[in-house]
A and B are shown apart, each in its own frame.
Chain A
Amino acid sequence: MDATGVKGDDTRAVSLQVRDLSKSFYGVAAVDEVSFDLVSGEIHGLLGENGAGKSTLCSMLAGLYRPDSGRMLLDGQTVHLRSPEDAATLGIGMVYQHFRLVERFTVAENIVLGRGIGVGRQARRDVERRVHELGEEYGLAVDASRAVWQLSVGERQRVEILKQLFRGARVLILDEPTAVLAPHESDRLFEAVRRMADAGHAVVLVSHKMQEILGHTDRVTVLRRGRNVGSGETAAQTHAALAAMMFGSELAGVGSDVEHSSRSPGPTVLKVSDLRVTGDHGRAAVDGVSFEVRRFQIVGVAGVAGNGQRELHEALAGLRSGVTGSIEIDGHDLSGAGPKARHRAGLAYVPEDRLGTGLAAGLTIEHNMVLRSFDRAPHSAAGRLKARAIRETSGRLVQEFDVRGARDGMPVSFMSGGNLQKAILARELTEDHEVLVAASPTRGLDMSAAETVRGHVRRERSTGRGVLLFSEDLAEVLELSDVVLVMFKGLIVGRFERDDVDVEHVGLLMTGASVTGDEVHRGHEDNQSGIRHRKVSL
């Protein structure tokens, strides 16, 4: 620490031993006597499904939760963390999945926020210089004088990491860091993480993506249902072995199903022409897109979050105002119709936020299961709800879609993400729907739940429906889709048939990185779907 209070990067050797940590919520053990070791220079993977206890464990390491029992030893000394500040003081820093940055502040301001460092010009210059040095050293370059709102998601993540390094974190915990990144950004992140480890930091990498764990960690600890079910050198592990640990014997052959529709697509079921959507800030979020979805076809929309996908699918569902252009289902124009009319016309919609839009969080599963159909027979007659019919429908859907964790009279918010998603699918995938628009349907779900959801998406195709799938997980889009559309800045900038997909190309289009010029060739309409292309040079 120098005279201005600017703290340096601390690369002294460090070791963290976790012994029998436990934490319960409402009597349910989230973390159950977990032990593992962490030393300088290693990247330690923490692998597990959602709900396996990864976040809870990390929250304890970071001082956010206090363990019910168990110990943590830092450099051989038992430590008790009462707050994230305690953890920071001891050199433990966590980078959360959701960033904690003040948009209006500059990078430097965010980094020193709450550190009691002066705001004088000299102090600021010192901070900016130090941030710059750290960035250079680890490959996390970012302009420290820019405001956070001007930064991309990847840059923001770098700011979060720099913040922790700046504060002298020797142990860095990264919670699902790639969830928000495009592929090439992920690669860059892993390079930086490796450099940190080489410099003597100890890094915990939380992930449920097998490839990341296998490709970028030195050791791995697998959690299942709150328990440590195995630790060891990553090099000694195989994909199959780790999967077996993660899922136990419950799930055999996950991910092996890569069957695709053998038949050619049917007639057009969803047709979108020149759709424009005004975003929340008054600017065009979707700037004229046209495409169609045919029966027996999954159309995937790839793109980095914030490029108009949300506005597009909300506009399709009828949830947005400020929409121009036309939307047709089976040839019926629904451009002016509300959400209910679209639903009745055959549109099933899985929204991005499960609690809040997809489900009314504080209400019961029964209520939510008939959210779209409560005012029709058999769920009501002459304005009166038919409790028995509602219970029957709900019970049937819960059974059919294997929704678990619902209890009588309990708000659905107490259920896990996977079950919430299954509940939404159960309600949306009625017998008479024609097309499914699904927005990030597997986001945040554990592997088995995600696979279940993908199964439903595939079944949609095999039963002759059309699917429009939005996902930030490129691998998922590529795995499922017959046609891939790439969105960037409110436009569809690429269209690929399944057999012609070039992953590298898609990744570049998604990030707009190598598009020549900023100009979009608006006049140039390409194939039959009217996709606009940007010129791409590699």
Chain B
Amino acid sequence: MHATGTKHSRRRSRSAKLAALLVGVALVAAACGDDDAATTTDDSAAAEQNATTTVEASSPAAAGDFSDLKVVMILDGSIDDGGWNTAHKLGGDAISAAFPGSTVEYVVEIAPGQTATNAFEDAVAADADVVIGTTFYQDDMMDVAAANPAVTFLTWAGFETAPNVGHFDGASEDGRYLDGMVAGSLTESNVIGYAAGFPYNEVNRAVNAFTLGAKAVNPDVEVQLVFLNTWFDPAVEQQAAEALVNAGADVLAHEVGAQVYATVAAQAGGYVIGYTNDWSQIEPEAWASSFLYNWGPYYVSQVQAVVDGTWEPAITFGGLKDGFISFAPYGPAVTPEILALVEAKKQEIADGTFDMFAGPITSNAGVVVVAEGATIPFETRTECCQWLVDGVVGEIPG
């Protein structure tokens, strides 16, 4: 995501900035209520679980005056995109709430490259204590970090170590598996359409998790996958969505940016699965489910450590058990029975009692990619996948 979400937001915000801001804020505000409830549950889960990560229980800081504390968040798109960037903005709101009097500024529309380097420098010049970069800015900010050892930097998906730089990423596959279960339960044609942008590890892994989830509740299901080779192109996406419906899909899932999947699914009388976005108010009848990123607990814990003087650099890869993943409100078609099934599995994943990548797993080329008894450990998941699981109709191009 990051990439998808950010690109999406950037384009859309440029075309209708103010309108999007108003509508977006309104939608996000409307959606927040339900979200927060889910977040709280996940928080408690996260508090008990943190075996492999440095996430500390994000107990709100003791009441005090944090007017000296300044956090600057740098984003690739605008904070009203209803997806990737909005999720980070909500994380920023969590910081504001946890540290009364503190300042959180958002620097938006910052493309990676020298523009990003400038933005990191400007954030430091504006007296930031913590600078958060929400897309892949690592190559642009390491020098700035080195020149400013007193400032703490958090960036998404980086890997180079430095005394004042922490990296973080979320395991979308945890959410994607559960979305797949919803899709597998809802489909009557046993064909689910899935439109993805570019094929690389994170995308492939999410498709695999989604398909495994769908097949877990419906062994006959097949996932029709198309790669669109674009970050955001409503015309291309519209065609793809229609093509998938014509191929028999009655549930549409996606990983690229436009809302067309919701409208096409609604017109076809089918369902739509979101991707870190909540379209429950846009096509209420067709809406099924979507996982969301939930960065608040991580951000608050990191800032708290900075305030306490206990902050240590770390690379944090967080999943459901770490509170990094939450869910949008489910649509009306998701029956209590389905919901019960999904909630149970969510608990198992959070508990660590269920491993979606436990072998045997066969690829759609018929190759055993994870042997019986083996698995893909959580820590090395980002190295996966260059294969597509059995049940996916489609292949990785190139």
Q: A–B direct touch, CB within 8 Å, in complex?
A: no
Residues of B whose CB lies within 8 Å of any CB of A are: none
